[in-house]
Amino acid sequence: MSDVAISMDEVWKKFRRGERHDSLRDLVPAVARRILHGAPPADQLEAGDFWALRDVSFDVKRGDALGIIGHNGAGKSTLLKILTRLLRPTLGSYVTHGRIGALIEVTAGFHTDLTGRENIYLNGSIIGMKRKDIEKRFDAIVEFSGIGEFIDTPVKRYSSGMNARLGFSIAAHLEPEILIVDEVLSVGDYTFQGKCIRWMQDLLQNGTTVIFVSHNMDAVLSLCNSALLLDRGKVLAKGELNKVVAEYYNSGGRWKPELLAEPRVTTVEFSSSIGSELVVAPGARVVFRHTFEAKANSELTPGFFVNRGGKTVLDTTYARMLGHSLRINAGETASVEWSMAFNLPAGVYEIGYHVGEWGGGYHDYKSRGIIVTVADDPRVKGESFVDLRLEERRHNGRVLESVRADPGILR
């Protein structure tokens, strides 16, 4: 047994934009053209073709967890489909050692008219479980999903959350040697998500190789031990987790598919309770304002994030203006002011900001907008800051003193 679970070697995958001929009527002229001009070589692009993957190579060792990250359209799904044998690479080759289990759209095998029980057997065998394995794990699957008494109800009457939980629970009992996971952690409520993470950590501890595709950098950082960043089909970075994740954020602004309104951040201001100083006390109230403009009328989604040492501390990417929309006309400027208690421990933080279009691909982006230093606080050391106060001191039940600390924080 080799210690490499997956090895991909210079894999290229070609796709065609737009419609293919998909009726017999169109086939005849296409075949005639092919006979007259000969089939195009595999490594060349015809009009309308594009490379979804370009020269992708990587190895995953047995028991490792690789996070595959990248912006939409980077080729993550194509890569997964090649690994799960759904697509064949145009050029290049890959080998996998071990039974592969894929958690990609876990409810794909469900039939809405069948009951939960029937779907467990159906979906279980679709993803490659043996009948006796399903029987053995049936109770565990039902238990994990939390479906309970609804197991004999047709799944068309389930809520979408129940559906996804049942699908995930079936897949979770597959016990693969290589697990491929695509954004399934976004299903279900928080309790269920916690369950899923614990389950994946258990698998990793038992030596399962995991390939994890996600937009959720926290999940990638906590589960994986290495990462691969894809950008327009190319491997932009691979290897050390923190570096690759940082690169993911840096690459954001470069991704410009169709330019429409091209919103742009013009100015950024920062202030805290002690003025515009870039050194603040932990827990200080800080205000962060950014101004932007756009080339066309558009609806914008500004946001910011805070990084420390390559790790994301917080990210409002999907805050969507906390429910407010921000419309802007061509040539106008708009600004947004965020305020927050900087409840972070001592250290150096990079505040990055971005502005994107609602539903659009383009966003302007800078990962190191402002460098803020949080000063040491004598009260707390460690990974996080809490606004710790000593309220009262007693001795043998007798109040010695009652302290009302005033840390000088603006409220």
Partner 1 sequence: MFADLKSASIEVWEHRELLEQLTRRDIKLRYKQAAMGFLWAVFMPCLIVLSGLIVRYAMAQISGATLRPSDIANIAVKGVGWAFFVGALGFATASLVGNANLVTKIYFPREVLPLSSVGAQSFDSSIGIITLVIILPFLGVRIHPSLAWVPLLLLLLVLFTTGVSLFLSCANLFFRDVKYIVQVVLMFGIFFTPIFFEPAMLGPKGAYLAMLNPLTGILEGLRLSVVEGHNLLEPLTVVVKGVPRVAWDPWELAYSAVISVAGVIGSAVMFRRLQHLFAEYV
Q: By CB under 8 A, name the binding residues for partner 1.
A: 15, 20, 22-25, 27, 81, 84-88, 102, 104-105, 108-109, 111, 113-114, 118, 121-122, 125-128, 130-131
Backbone angles phi, psi at 86, to 5 degrees: -80, -30
Backbone angles phi, psi at 355, to 5 degrees: -140, 130
DSSP β-ladder status, 363-374 and 392-395: unpaired
Least distance in angstroms from the C-beta of 308 to partner 1: 38
Contacts of 279 by beta carbon, 8 Å cutoff, 6+ apart: 372, 373, 374, 375
Least distance in angstroms from the C-beta of 100 to partner 1: 8
The DSSP H or E segment spanning 351 is: strand 347-357
Least distance in angstroms from the C-beta of 223 to partner 1: 22
Q: What's the order of all strands across the beta sheet hosting 4-16?
A: 49-61, 4-16, 91-96
Least distance in angstroms from the C-beta of 23 to partner 1: 4
DSSP per-residue string spanning 118-133: HHHHHHHHHTT--HHH
β-bridge mates for residue 347, sequence order = 374
Whichever of 182 and 357 has its CB closer to partner 1, that residue is 182
β-bridge mates for residue 374, sequence order = 280, 347
3-state secondary structure of 346: coil
Q: Are 205 and 64 in contact (CB under 8 A)?
A: no
Whichever of 135 and 332 has its CB closer to partner 1, that residue is 135
Whichever of 111 and 394 has its CB closer to partner 1, that residue is 111
Whichever of 33 and 111 has its CB closer to partner 1, that residue is 111
Whichever of 129 and 336 has its CB closer to partner 1, that residue is 129
Distance CA 57, CA 147 (A): 41
Look up residue 328 and give its two tokens: 């802007």
Whichever of 121 and 358 has its CB closer to partner 1, that residue is 121
Residue with tokens 């779907």: 119
Least distance in angstroms from the C-beta of 132 to partner 1: 9
The DSSP H or E segment spanning 81 is: helix 76-83
Least distance in angstroms from the C-beta of 206 to partner 1: 24
Least distance in angstroms from the C-beta of 226 to partner 1: 25
Burial of 311 (C-beta count, 10 Å sphere; 0-12/13-18/19+): middle
Whichever of 183 and 387 has its CB closer to partner 1, that residue is 183
Whichever of 130 and 136 has its CB closer to partner 1, that residue is 130
Least distance in angstroms from the C-beta of 69 to partner 1: 21
Least distance in angstroms from the C-beta of 171 to partner 1: 10
Distance CA 180, CA 106 (A): 12
Length of the chain, in residues: 411
Whichever of 104 and 210 has its CB closer to partner 1, that residue is 104
